[in-house]
Chains A and B, each alone.
Chain A
C-alpha cells in the first residue's frame, strides 16, 4: 500500500475531492467512496466494458484508470445522463428497442454509445459494432442494442433532446 493522496476532479458537473491510495481505480472510488454504483464492476480487469465512463469526453474503462491520473479531469457517469424521470435520448432508445435484459452491461453500453455519437453523429452499423466491441452483453445477442444506437443517432441528429440532456450536452 502506498500513501493516500488527495485527488480533485469533477464528477457529473460537481467538484469532488477524494482521499485515496493513488493506485485505487476510478471504478472503486466512484462505487465505494462516491456511491455512484451505476458504474458496474463486471471483471475489474478491462475485459467487459461494464464500467465504461467518459473522462474529458473520451470513453474510458474506470477499472483501469488509477485515481491519481484523474486529478483535474472531468468524469461523466451514467448518473449524469438523466434526471429523475427524464431520460437521455440514448436511454429512451435503449428502453424502446428492448436493448437490455438483465441490465448489468447497460450503463456501460449507454456511455460507450454517448462517446461514439459525440464523435460521429451518424455512424454506420459497422462503426457502431467497432465502437461497442469492448462492451460485453450475455443476454441480448446485441442486435437490439445496435437498433437502439441507430434510433438514438437519428433522434439526436434531429435535435430531439430531453431536459436533462439539453442541460448537460
Chain B
C-alpha cells in the first residue's frame, strides 16, 4: 500500500496488518455490559437534588415532602459524609481541600449536589429529589476569568483570591532569558488575544456506577471511570475506609474523552450502599452529563511575540487565564501542561509566562484530550501565521526557521530530545503535494552547530 510517499507495509508482520478490535463482537451484538446494564436484585437508585443557583448560601434543607414519596429509602446530606471536603489532586499531594461531596453551607455552581436521594426506582428517586425543599440566600456570582481576579469580585474560594496557589504565587510562573529586553530589540511585536470555550465531552454513555455492599464488609463497584485507581482512592478517602474494602470493576467505558476522570459518582453511591445495605445505582441523566459533569476549560490567552525581519521569534510573553469553574479538579494539571508547552515545538530563547487557574461560578472544568496543550497550540499557530503575514515570509518557512532542534532548551528548562518537527513538516508537505524550498528540505532536527 502506498499513500503519497509514505509507505505502509502490508504482509507478514503485525505492522500494517488489520487486527480485529478485541471487544467489537460484544459491541455489535449488544452483549457488552456497560455500567447501566448492571441490574442487581434489590438494587436502589440514587438521584441528586442540586443547586439551581450559581452562587448561594444554603439556609435550610427540608426533606419532609421527599420522604413521603412511595419508594423513598433514604436521603444523604453533608452530615452523612465521613470526609466531606476534598480535592481530587490531593490524592497526589497537590492543592487544598475545596470541593464537598455534598454541599453544606454554600453552593458555587448550577447543579452542585446537595442531597442524595435513594429510592426503589429511578422514577421515585427523581420525584423525591424534586421535592427536597431548600432555602437559599442568593449571592453575587462571577463568570469571567478577569472579572474574578479584579478587586471586589465575589469570593468563590475560601482563601481570599479566586486563583489556585502555585508555590506561593496565584499563577504558574515561567521565566527564561530576558523577555523584556529581547522584546525591545525585536523588529516587530505581534500581539494576540485568544479564547477557547468550554466543551462538553458528551459521551453517549453518561457517567455512572453501581455499588453492591458485600457480606464481608467490602463493596463491589462497577464504574465507567477512566481513572479506576483515582476513583477507588477518592472513594476510600471520602468514606474514610481502607482501600482493601473496595473492589472496583471497570474498563468498559461508553466514551470518555477525559470527562470521566473526576470520581464524581463512586463516593456517594458507595456511601449510599453502605448506609442502606442495598446495591445502589447512580447514573447521570443526559441533563446532568451536560450541565453538571466537568467540561474542557474555558481559556483566555494574551500572547505577545517579539520577531525579527527573518521571522525568528526572539521573545514570547504570555498571560493565560484558565477557567476551572467552581472547583479546580484537574485544572492545575492543565495549567502545568499549558505553561510547559507555550513555546510548542519551537525554540524561543526568551520567555515570560504567567498562567492562572481561575475560579468562577461556572460548571467545574477538568480534563479533556490534551487539556492545556491544545489551547496553547491554537494560540501559537495563529501567531505563526500572523508572523508570516507581517514579515512577508511563507508560513512554512516561519515554522522551519523557529523549529526546535535536539539539545535546545525549552523555557521550563527541559532539553529537547528526539525532535521531529522538521521531519514531520517535510513529510506533511510531501503528503499534501506542497513543494518546499531546497533550503527547507535540507534541514534536519539534529543539534545546531555551535
B17 to chain A minimum Cβ distance, whole angstroms, is: 13
Beyond contacts A37-B33, A91-B29, A102-B203: 4 other A-B pairs, Cβ-Cβ < 8 A, are A35-B39, A78-B29, A79-B30, A81-B29
Stretch at the interface among B171-179, B251-259, B402-410, B437-445: B251-259
Q: Is the CB of A48 within 8 A of B28?
A: no
Encode contact with B along A41-52: 1 for CB under 8 Å, 0 otherwise.
111110110100
How many residues of B are in contact with the other chain, CB < 8 A? 30
Residues of chain A lying within 8 A (CB to CB) of residue B256: 102
Chain A residues close to B by CB (< 8 Å): 31-32, 35-45, 47-48, 50, 77-79, 81-82, 87, 91, 94-96, 98, 100-107, 110, 136-139
User: What would be 23 A-B contacts, judged by CB atoms less than 8 Å apart?
Assistant: A31-B36, A31-B39, A35-B39, A36-B30, A37-B30, A38-B31, A40-B204, A40-B254, A48-B286, A78-B30, A79-B30, A82-B29, A100-B21, A100-B24, A100-B28, A102-B204, A102-B205, A103-B23, A104-B34, A104-B204, A105-B204, A138-B202, A138-B255
| Chain B residue at minimal CB-CB distance from A43 | B286
Q: A95-B20, A138-B202 are in contact. Are A87 and B28 (CB under 8 A)?
A: yes
- B244 within 8 A of partner (CB): no
Across the interface, A103 reaches (CB within 8 A) one of B26, B36, B206, namely B26
Residues of chain B lying within 8 A (CB to CB) of residue A139: 255
Report, nearest first, the 3 A-B pairs whose CB atoms are least far apart.
A38-B30, A103-B27, A104-B254
Q: A32-B39, A104-B254 are in contact. Are A42 and B206 (CB under 8 A)?
A: yes
Residues of chain B lying within 8 A (CB to CB) of residue A47: 286
CA distance A78 to B21 in the complex (A): 19
A22 to chain B minimum Cβ distance, whole angstroms, is: 14
| Residue with the highest number of chain B CB atoms closer than 10 Å, among A32, A47, A105, A138 | A138
CA distance A32 to B122 in the complex (A): 11
Q: A40-B204, A40-B205, A138-B203 are in contact. Are A102 and B25 (CB under 8 A)?
A: no
Residues of chain A lying within 8 A (CB to CB) of residue B254: 40, 102-104
CA distance A43 to B34 in the complex (A): 15
| Chain A residue at minimal CB-CB distance from B31 | A38
CA distance A37 to B39 in the complex (A): 9
Q: Is the CB of A95 within 8 A of B204?
A: no
Across the interface, A104 reaches (CB within 8 A) one of B20, B25, B255, B286, namely B255
CA distance A47 to B20 in the complex (A): 30
- B197 within 8 A of partner (CB): no
Q: Is the CB of A95 within 8 A of B255?
A: no
Residues of chain A lying within 8 A (CB to CB) of residue B32: 103
B173 to chain A minimum Cβ distance, whole angstroms, is: 37
Q: Is the CB of B21 within 8 A of A48?
A: no
- B37 within 8 A of partner (CB): yes
Q: Is the CB of A110 within 8 A of B28?
A: yes
CA distance A77 to B21 in the complex (A): 23
Residues of chain B lying within 8 A (CB to CB) of residue A98: 21, 24
